[in-house]
Amino acid sequence: MTLKFFFQLILIFIIVTIIGVFYYNFFIKNKEKVDLISKNELDSISKIDENVSNELSNIEYNAFDENGNTYYIYAKKATVKSNEINGENNVLLEDVNSIITIKNRGLINIFSNYANYNRGNNNTFFYGDVKIEYLDNLITSQNLDVIFTKKISKIYNNVYYKNAIINLSTDNVLIDIKTGDIKLEMNNINEKVRLVSKYNYAN
């Protein structure tokens, strides 16, 4: 083997190595970067789409039961919780207005800052500056649980109840959704409902 031929082999090897390094750096690596950027962009788009699909504006729900009572709820904003994708039915509502119509008894108007609403059974948990209007009675509190599965509504947490005759404060107000009956109760059975009458003859 001549020295000239040996140098030619070395030169060919160097040229092939340079071409290989160039190809790897400018084609393979760049393709990996492009693929990585594309994947990140797709992930970002997916997250945006998920947020958009999970948030609704001016949403309404309607329901009724076997007794002829109806339930309407409206919210300026609704957010489907992440576990909704897994088959649950919970929706977070904001700026909420609801109407329960009890057959032969009248309307219950409900206002609150927020509510957790279950689309499967209509159970609703109102909270944040709750206001209830029912049969000329005004009730304010921080919480109201409307449990359709048990036919009961429970008003609690800083409850104030007033009408044309009385003002009172109590721990809990219970409204029977089936009959419309109202019951006042204290957490401690030894305590009494605090009542102030607008007439002298009332206790």
Contact assessment for residue 141 and residue 156, using Cβ atoms and an 8 Å cutoff: yes
Give residue 120's pLDDT: 87
Selected residue with higher pLDDT from 85 and 147: 147
What CA–CA distance (Å, rounded) separates 70 from 90? 20
What CA–CA distance (Å, rounded) separates 154 from 97? 17
Task: Average the pLDDT over 54-58 and give the result.
Answer: 86
Indicate whether 201 pLDDT > 70.
Answer: no
Give residue 124's pLDDT: 96
Fold of 56-197: lipopolysaccharide transport protein A fold (2.60.450)
Neighbours of 71 (CB within 10 A): 19
Phi, psi of 185 (to 5 degrees): -150, 155
Phi, psi of 138 (to 5 degrees): -115, 125
pLDDT digits (tens, 9 = 90+) for 137-187: 999 999 999 999 999 999 999 999 898 888 888 899 999 988 888 888 888
Contact assessment for residue 141 and residue 158, using Cβ atoms and an 8 Å cutoff: yes
DSSP assignment letter at 37: H
How is the chain split into domains, by residue range? 56-197
Burial of 114 (0-12, 13-18, 19+ CB in 10 A): middle
Indicate whether 63 pLDDT > 60.
Answer: yes
Give residue 60's pLDDT: 93
Give residue 186's pLDDT: 85
- Please give the structure tokens belonging to residue 109: 């108007």
Q: Are strands 194-197 and 166-176 parallel, antiparallel or unpaired?
A: antiparallel
Bridge partners of residue 193, in order along the sequence: none
Contact assessment for residue 63 and residue 122, using Cβ atoms and an 8 Å cutoff: yes
Give residue 51's pLDDT: 47
Give residue 46's pLDDT: 46
pLDDT digits (tens, 9 = 90+) for 90-114: 899 999 999 999 888 889 999 999 9
Contact assessment for residue 72 and residue 61, using Cβ atoms and an 8 Å cutoff: yes
Average pLDDT, the chain: 78
Give residue 198's pLDDT: 54
